[in-house]
Amino acid sequence: MSATAQTPVLVLGVSGSIAAYKAADIASRLVKEGVEVHVVMTEAAERFITPLTLQTLSRNPVIRAAEATQPDWKPVHIALADRATLLLVAPATADLIAQLALGLAGHPLTEIALATRAPLLIAPAMNGHMWQHPATQQHVATLKSRGARFLGPAEGLLACGYEGLGRLCEPQEIVEAALTALAAAAPPRP
């Protein structure tokens, strides 16, 4: 990335999946690529990985439901939504995908998703039966019809013990897709 180009701002949404630990690798790799990363965690995600880990790797405070305020007048979710070049959700659970499709805004991550005009890249991670359920597939179709892009899920051994579709894609693959999306979303140089 050239020094004259504006630093892209990526909001990394992390939801409550066992794959949440991979968000640390994703954040670290993106920062090494020169991306300004802001992590937003659901309460369920905090059961799998600590905000401190993601704050250290992203080099920015983590936005959490319990701390979604900032000292000035602008709500933190609006300020971040306005600055985002890309909203990446990795991992995205079936529950979070449903919330995004229905336009629910019960926590900072879904509030940012509603308020931003940045592209949305979603990397699902869940049990294969949950992924294939008609309700989940309908939510995926709804989000795709609104321009969201999905990466995965991948096949393999799942945390629940099943084998099949539902794994989070590998961090390097997610980072490559995010970098491509950031490059496409970047404003043209003067």
Low-confidence ranges of the chain (pLDDT < 50): 1-4, 189-190
pLDDT of residue 139: 98
DSSP state for residue 154 in the 8-state scheme: E
- The answer to whether residues 39 and 67 touch, using CB atoms and an 8 Å cutoff, is no
Residue 60: inside a domain: yes
* Residue 65 within a domain: yes
Domain membership flag for residue 123: yes
Domain that holds residue 136: 9-185
CB 98 within 8 A of CB 131: no
DSSP secondary structure string for all residues of 174-190: HHHHHHHHHHHHSPPP-
CATH of the domain at 124: 3.40.50.1950
Confidence at residue 66, expressed as pLDDT on a 0 to 100 scale: 55
Residue 4 lies in a domain: no
Residues near 16 by Cβ (< 8 Å), separated by ≥ 6? 42, 43, 44, 45, 47, 48, 93, 95, 96
In contact, 120 and 87? CB cutoff 8 Å? yes
Number of domains present in the structure of the chain: 1
Q: Is residue 19 part of a domain?
A: yes
- Asked whether residue 89 is assigned to any structural domain, the reply reads yes
Predicted pLDDT of residue 2 = 38
pTM above 0.85, yes or no: yes
**Exposed / middle / buried, residue 181 (Cβ in 10 Å: 0-12, 13-18, 19+):** buried
Catalytic site positions: 160
